[in-house]
Amino acid sequence: MSRRIRRALVGATLSVAATAGLVAGTAGTAHAAGPVYSVQLNWLNIADNQDNNSVDEVYIKVNGSTVWGPRDIHWNTPENLNISLPRTFYFDGTAPMKIEFWDRDPGRDDRVGTITLSAAAPNVGPNAADLKGNDGEYWVYYTVTQIA
């Protein structure tokens, strides 16, 4: 599916949701979801590998689903997620969005960090997150835009 078509589908879905929210609001039985935000992951750079061999098998999960990877990412070699993960993610006031960064291993995988976004803390604009966990450190750059 092309990016443009996917965007159109998401837009249509959001429109339907917004309309449903308005109708429900009119009936006084439910609240609209409130503002809608889009999220683009821009860059990933490994400041400290989780593994001891200077290359992690990184994968990214959004709300529990793997959306990218695993890919071999070397220490201090910025990965352009604008290109390798050309997807836009969305959240609104109904639930927070969890973006997790993992290193895959033959045994148990290691989670290095999680970015949590919500309508209460949407982090609108460009962001740099310093994620540290399980002896790894990933720098993640991402952008949040309010679209509705």
The footprint of Ca ion (CB under 5 A) covers 50-51, 57, 103, 105, 110
Least distance in angstroms from the C-beta of 56 to Ca ion: 5
Nearer to Ca ion, 92 or 110 (CB): 110
Distance CA 88, CA 106 (A): 30
Nearer to Ca ion, 96 or 133 (CB): 133
Least distance in angstroms from the C-beta of 42 to Ca ion: 23
Least distance in angstroms from the C-beta of 75 to Ca ion: 13
Nearer to Ca ion, 59 or 89 (CB): 59
From 58, 59, 60, 22, select the one nearest 39 (Cα to Cα): 60
